[in-house]
């Protein structure tokens, strides 16, 4: 298992902390992917723009993180 992947057991413990996906607008990004991208970004100390492609669009991940942080998640 890769170091930047949250285990299934850990995800089961924390998944309810994050807000539910919006039902309007664009299809939602997987919550787990946003959490993994955020963990990778803070562990490595790199800029959001340097997220590996496997996490998807860096700007989408950043916007989700910023929105959750502003909401106190």
pLDDT digits (tens, 9 = 90+) for 7-52: 899 999 999 998 887 778 888 889 999 999 999 999 999 999 999 9
- Cα separation, 44 vs 31, in Å, equals 20
Residue 17 domain-assigned? no
In a domain, 4, yes or no: yes
In a domain, 15, yes or no: no
| Tally of domains within the chain | 1
Predicted pLDDT of residue 4: 67
Whether residue 13 is contained in a domain is answered as: no
Has residue 3 got a pLDDT over 70? no
Residue 59 lies in domain:
1-8+28-73
Confidence grade of residue 60 (pLDDT, cut at 50, 70, 90) = very high
Helix and strand counts by DSSP (H, E) for the chain: 3, 0
CA 25 from centroid of its chain's CA atoms: 19
pLDDT of residue 6: 86
**What's the chain's Rg over C-alpha atoms?**
12
Q: Say if 23 falls within a structural domain.
A: no
Token pair for residue 57?
């669009």
Task: State the helix-helix crossing angle for 31-44 and 58-70, rounded to 10 degrees.
Answer: 90
Q: What is the mean pLDDT of residues 56-67?
A: 94
């Amino acid at each position: 298992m890769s170091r930047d992947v949250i285990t299934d057991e850990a995800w089961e413990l924390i998944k309810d902390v994050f807000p539910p996906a919006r039902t309007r607008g664009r299809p939602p990004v997987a919550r787990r992917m946003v959490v993994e991208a955020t963990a990778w970004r803070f562990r490595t100390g790199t800029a959001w723009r340097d997220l590996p492609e496997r996490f998807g669009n860096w700007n989408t991940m950043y916007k989700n993180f910023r929105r959750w942080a502003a909401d106190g998640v």
